[in-house]
Amino acid sequence: MHFSDIFKSSFLENVASVSLLDMALALALAFGLGVFIFLVYKKTYEGVMYSSSFGVTLIALTMITTLVILAVTSNVVLSLGMVGALSIVRFRTAIKEPLDIAFLFWAIAAGIVLAAGMIPLAVIGSVIIGVILLVFVNRKSHADPYILVLRCDGQESEARAMELVGASTRVCRVKSKTVTKGEIELDLDVRLRDADTGFINALSDLPGVGSAVLVSYNGEYMG
């Protein structure tokens, strides 16, 4: 070993493996695709509490994935070590919305394809996916579900209330019925006619009806 060999480093030899132009172009395109994915996510979100941090995560995930794949494609030995390093990473954050998983995979896939040099596939594919999500997620083929909670003081008042509810809604199904001494509580699954909730006022004015509560919910249901 010569004295000059001490200053040789394989680490420094990899500095120029990816040009600055390639890095700048890949990260700029990744940022653009990440912003597009974020905007589609924001437009199609239908949950209860919107998380802006998840949207920013989609942008960061696209750019980080692009950065990793650029390093992997420039060095075969590095790619093997990267697989082992990433295999120990575990994510424990719970995904509440099933559609969020699709956006996560979309951001990762866009970063991978973009860093692999398939720019038309990454851009055109992302545009097609975004259009499909905008069309199908925002499309509602069913009426919004509601839960109607009724409290009546007897069978006669229950019959009158059910007659009014049946005439004022498209669908009315009994989910549960609780009978106690002097009170009947009904939980009804209803679909409104043209989002008209005025029948609740008339329902609460019926003799024997103690209360009428209409609650919207966004859970899984069979229509």
Other C-beta atoms closer than 10 Å to the C-beta of 184 total: 19
pLDDT, one tens digit per residue, over 131-170 is: 999 888 866 555 678 888 988 988 888 888 888 888 888 8
Q: Which residues are registered as beta bridge partners of 220?
A: none
Crossing angle for the helix pair 52-74 and 20-44, nearest 10 degrees? Answer: 150
Is it true that domain 145-216 has CATH number 3.40.50.1980? no
pLDDT given at position 28:
93
pLDDT given at position 121:
92
Pinpoint the residues of the chain covered by CATH 3.30.70.1710.
145-216
Query: In this structure, is the dihedral angle defined by the CA atoms of residues 143, 149, 152 and 155, taken in order, positive or negative?
Result: positive
Q: Which residues contact 137 (CB under 8 A, 6 or more apart)?
A: 44, 46, 99
Query: In this structure, is the dihedral angle defined by the CA atoms of residues 122, 127, 128 and 132, taken in order, positive or negative?
Result: positive
pLDDT given at position 62:
92
Beta strand 183-192 with 169-180 is antiparallel
Q: Which residues are registered as beta bridge partners of 145?
A: 191
Round to whole Å and give the CA distance between 40 and 34.
10
E strands, 90-223, where?
A: 145-152, 169-180, 183-192, 209-216
What whole-number percentage of the chain has pLDDT above 70? 75
Residue 7 has pLDDT above 50, yes or no: no
pLDDT given at position 45:
82
This prediction has a pTM of 0.63
> From its phi and psi, is residue 195 left (phi > 0), alpha (psi between -120 and 50) or beta?
left
Residue 16 has pLDDT above 90, yes or no: no
